[in-house]
Amino acid sequence: MKKFLFFLLIFVVVAGVMTVYSGLTHGAQVTMKQEGGVKMDQEGVPAAKDMNNDGNRLTFIPERQKDTKDSDTQATKGDASRKIQRYSPYQYGEGENK
């Protein structure tokens, strides 16, 4: 009985961890890897209006707004089986209709 309860407990813990760190989207396996030491839950994403105000204190935002070219190469290198590219931001109305 104790063994059964122990295995049940292990199963529940493993299932819980898997639910948190991975999931299934329409049958596909989805994995999320967060950079070490990052505590994202402690802060929200600042609103855009708070970030680029007229004051002399500004906050960086995670949004590329111009197509300024890089002078140096990307640090993370790809290999034969891993093709690394910068995301091309979506332009409204571009491409095939959904």
Partner 1 sequence: MQKRWPCFIFVLITMMVLSFGGCTSSSDDYSPYYPETGTIELNNYSDVTIDRFYLAPVHQTSWGRNILRDVLYPGESTLIVDIESGYYDAKIAVTGLYSDYFGYLYDINMRHGRDVVLDVYNSSFTGSLEIYNNTVGAHIVGVYVVPAGSPTWGHNQTTSYIYPAEVLHLSDLSPGFYDIRIVWNVGPDSYYDDVKIKSLTLKTIDVD
Does residue 39 interact with partner 1 by CB under 8 A? yes
Does residue 48 interact with partner 1 by CB under 8 A? no
* Binding residues for partner 1, total number by CB under 8 A: 60
Give the shortest CB-6-to-partner 1 separation in angstroms. 32
Q: Which is nearer to partner 1, 16 or 46 (CB)?
A: 46
> Tokens 């199963």, residue?
11
DSSP letter assigned to residue 60: -
- Segment 77-96, which members bind partner 1 (CB under 8 A)? 78, 81-96
Burial 13-49 (b: 16+ CB within 10 A, else e): eeeeeeeeeeeeeeeeeeeeeeeeeeeeeeeeeeeee
Does residue 16 interact with partner 1 by CB under 8 A? no
Q: Give the separation between CA 66 and CA 60, rounded to whole angstroms.
A: 14
Give the shortest CB-86-to-partner 1 separation in angstroms. 5
